[in-house]
Structure 1
Amino acid sequence: MDDTPRKPPTRAVENGMVGVGAVLVFDGKGGVVRHEPGDGMPAVPARGFKLVCGNSRSPEFKVWLKAELGVFNADLLTVPSTRSRCTVIDDKAMIVLRVARPGAEPEDIGRQLLSLWIEKGRVIIASELNILDFLGLSKWESSHHAPVSPADLVARLGLRAADRLEPLVERLGDRLDEIEESLIVQNTSRAQGKLSHLRRTLISFRRLVWPQRDVLNTLEIEDLSHFTARDRLRLREASARSARLGDELQALSERAVLVHEQIIDARAEQMNRTMLILAAVTVVFMPLTLLTGALGMNVSGIPFADNPHAFWTVCAALFLLSLGIIWWMRGRRWL
């Protein structure tokens, strides 16, 4: 069986409608039009740009990418990556963002890759995400508030990614609050396990947020000729949003360290209290043990050996001695 990807139809190649994707044309004034596979060649306004979305796993889309961008650039766009990054080639840029999947949990956010190719008048997105739902296309069409430039589109993608992460970060904060409350009731054993799991999750989130901030910062400062001052401002705003999430994660990490120190202090205090009790018991019973050992020697001359009331007399004396030792220790504030 021949597994060689078949070349898509010419009409589909012209439209960019390859794989399971879509073509959107932005007029640069807030308007957007979606073109279907059967439509003619989309005309891009002078101030606008075209967005081509495709599935990064689609063989037909990969063939189209290689024809449009070359084999090397197409592979950069479709090969899975473990980190967000920004690469500038001549007057073009290739961006990789990692986005949390919808309905994700803090323990399993299910990162999904979002790869973009940016050039003057065109943006190509290769991802397994439902890009149209992720972007909120229906709202743009109804409100006439679509991106006006490729950089504006990237900034909004960064904001959408931050929107998905923000409730997860808030949930992590709530869990840290619950751990702190459990420490109030001295339940340190359960708090330790939950805190360790939370700290691992925070590290994972920081690895996701900080590179995204760096990507937006890098794109902002790069000398791309088709970026305007407004574009750079939008990218700076999106970067600041990611930076705020990173700061919240950093604050949660610092709080987690403080909570960990509280757990250690609570355990140390409990251990000290236990050792104090054991030491007090030892101090009380040491002289009692000495006396009973002396009276229990199997030699002649033991006092009161023939007295029938000697046993209870000695017990009473030992009891009074133990009370005296306890009173003395309390007077020294050792108990």
Structure 2
Amino acid sequence: MDDAVKQPNDRALRNGLVGVGVVLIFDGSGGMKRVEPGVDHAAAPANGFKLIVGNSKAPEFKIWLRDELGEFNSGLITAPTSRSRCTVMDDKALIVLRVVRPGAAPQDVGRQFLTVWIESNRVIIASELNILDFLGLSKVDQPHHAPVTPADLIARLALRATDRLEPLIEMLGERLDGIEETLITHSTEKAQDNLEQLRRTLISFRRLVWPQRDALSTLEIEDLSFFSDRDRLRLRDAAMRTARIGDELQALSERAVLVHEEIIDDRAEQMNKAMLLLAAVTVVFSPLTLITGLLGMNVSGIPLADHGAAFWFVCILLVLIGGGIAMWMRKLRWF
């Protein structure tokens, strides 16, 4: 049996998913170039910045982070997390964003996090996600449309994360439409099951979107010296777009509540109809039961006790009384 260790493919190496990562230098005018990691490379231009991307699980990248940023800061970057957040330390910032898996179903969005360390002329991204493909930077011979500032890079990350959410929000809206159509056909039980699953999914989406909006808003309002007005505008746009997704989720949640109330009303109406039918049957048969009970007493003096056709006479009487009560209830629109 071949015990050779499986070697990573060229694509994983090229995109920094294994090893010490990948280094890109942006000139601040929309251009960029790639520099091999592990060697002394040129510093970023005065108006540009440097991007280092690595896998947060790769041992080589963790060692590089510890040597570069220290034990405490490197631990913040690689520590497991469950929510988006933004932390500012001196003139540096740490922001955690959550991205859904490509092609994920609404009920299983996954937990792909990317942690970004931001300085005036350097950005470090630690994530198991293929960041270069995610941002469209996997090819070096790009047109001059690369990020021009660290804030521009963060805004693009947030917008790409939102782009992955929008199709899932549309799918949730279509599912809610399907539940409403199911209610029209009075399939209440099936609609209730689907609605419960949809509401759980909406809750998980809100847990994803709202902290991300708050993290972007926090980064925008923090007093970082290297953020320009244009940078803050870009971050505000990203936060507003994330907030719009949150508003759509809130609207879907409110619709789901209305559908749930409609299901409850439908069930209450069905129960009321059943109770009305039972009440009508009770009203019809109560006097008949009284009459038959009186005639069935084991005492002397019962009328028609010795008459041969007494049974049929009583039956006809009961039918007439029951029919009369039913007609009277029908006239009152009880059923």
Q: How far apart, in 1, do the equivalents of 2:132 and 2:46 lie? A: 23
User: In 2, Cα distance between the equivalents of 1:215 and 1:267?
Assistant: 43
Whole-angstrom distance in 1 between the partners of 2:211 and 2:88: 16
Following TM superposition, the consecutive aligned residue runs of length 4 or more in structure 1 with deviations greater than 6 angstroms are: none
Q: Deviations over 1:85-120 (max 9, x none)?
A: 111111110111111111111111111110000001
Whether contact under 8 Å (2:21, 2:37) holds in the other structure is no
Specify the SS of the correspondent of 1:96: strand
3-state DSSP class of the match of 1:333? coil
Q: Which amino acid aligns with 1:84?
A: S
Q: CA RMSD in A?
A: 1.8
Cα distance in 2 for partners of 1:148, 1:180 equals 47
Correspondence list, 1:171-190, <5 A: 171-190=171-190
* Cα distance in 1 for residues equivalent to 2:258 and 2:133: 40
Between stretches 293-302 and 224-233, larger displacement belongs to 293-302
Q: Distance in 1 between matches of 2:195 and 2:76?
A: 39
Helix, strand or coil at the partner of 1:147 = coil
3-state SS of paired residue (1:137): coil
2:165 aligned partner, one-letter code: L
CA–CA separation in structure 2 for the residues paired with 1:106 and 1:18: 29
In 2, Cα distance between equivalents of 1:235 and 1:80: 25
- What aligned pairs does 1:89-100 form with structure 2 within 5 A after superposition? 89-100=89-100
Aligned to 2:30: 30
- Per-residue deviation at 1:254? 0.7
Distance 1:39 1:176 in 2: 55
Task: Judge conservation of contact 1:49–1:123 (CA < 8 Å) in 2.
Answer: yes
- Per-residue CA deviations over 1:43-81 (Å, capped at 9, x if unaligned) read 422211110000111111111111111111000000011
CA contact (8 A) 2:17 2:55 kept: no
Distance (Å, rounded) in 2 between the aligned partners of 1:63 and 1:106? 36
What's the counterpart of residue 311 of structure 2? 311
Residues 75-94 of structure 1 mapped to structure 2, 5 A cutoff: 75-94=75-94
Q: Which amino acid aligns with 2:69?
A: L
Greater Cα shift, 42-51 or 237-246: 42-51
Provide the rounded CA distance (Å) in 2 between the counterparts of 1:116 and 1:37. Answer: 18
The one-letter code of the counterpart of 2:127 is S
Matched with 2:229 is 229
1:254 aligns to 2:254 (yes or no): yes
Task: Quote the Cα distance in structure 2 between the aligned partners of 1:141 and 1:116.
Answer: 25
Distance 2:271 2:294 in 1: 34
Q: Distance in 2 between matches of 1:161 and 1:64?
A: 27
The residue that corresponds to 2:295 in the other structure is 295
The letter for the 2-side match of 1:247 is D
Q: 1:26, CA displacement in angstroms?
A: 1.1
Give unpaired runs (5+ residues) of structure 1: 1-15
**Which residue number corresponds to residue 151 of structure 1?**
151
1:230 counterpart letter in structure 2: R
Letter in 1 for 2:145: H
Q: After the TM superposition, which of the residue ranges 141-150 and 50-59 deviates more from structure 2?
A: 141-150
Identity %: 71
Aligned residue in 2 for 1:7: none
Determine helix, strand or coil for the equivalent of 1:143. coil
Partner Cα distance (1:184, 1:269) in 2: 14
Query: Residue in 2 aligned with 1:243?
Result: 243
Which digits, 9 at most, give the CA deviation of each residue in 1:195-224, with x for residues without a partner? 111111111110100000001100101111
- Partner SS state of residue 105, structure 1: coil
Paired residues for 1:1-335 under 5 Å: 19=19, 21-37=21-37, 41-138=41-138, 141-335=141-335
User: Partners in 1 of 2:168 and 2:183 — Cα distance?
Assistant: 23
Distance 1:94 1:136 in 2: 23
Aligned-partner residue type, residue 179 of structure 1? I
| CA distance 1:308–1:141, change in 2 (3 Å) | farther
Could you tell me which amino acid in structure 1 is paired with residue 119 of structure 2?
E
Q: Secondary structure in 2 aligned to 1:154?
A: helix
| Residues 17, 128 of structure 2: 8 Å contact kept | no
Task: Verify the 8 A CA contact 1:202 1:249 in the aligned structure 2.
Answer: yes
Q: For residue 317 of structure 1, give the secondary structure of its aligned residue in structure 2.
A: helix
- Match of 2:33, SS state, is strand
Q: Secondary structure at the match of 1:196?
A: helix
Partner secondary structure for residue 207 of structure 1: helix
Listed as ranges, the gaps of 5+ residues in structure 2 are: 1-15
d(CA) in 2 for partners of 1:159, 1:82: 20
8 A Cα contact 2:20 2:37, kept in partner: no
Provide the secondary structure at the position in 1 that maps to 2:302: coil
| Structure 1 residues 143 and 309: alpha-carbon distance in aligned structure 2, compared to 1, 3 A threshold | farther
Give the stretch that moved more between structures: 236-245 or 317-326.
Answer: 317-326
When normalised by structure 1's length, the TM-score is 0.91
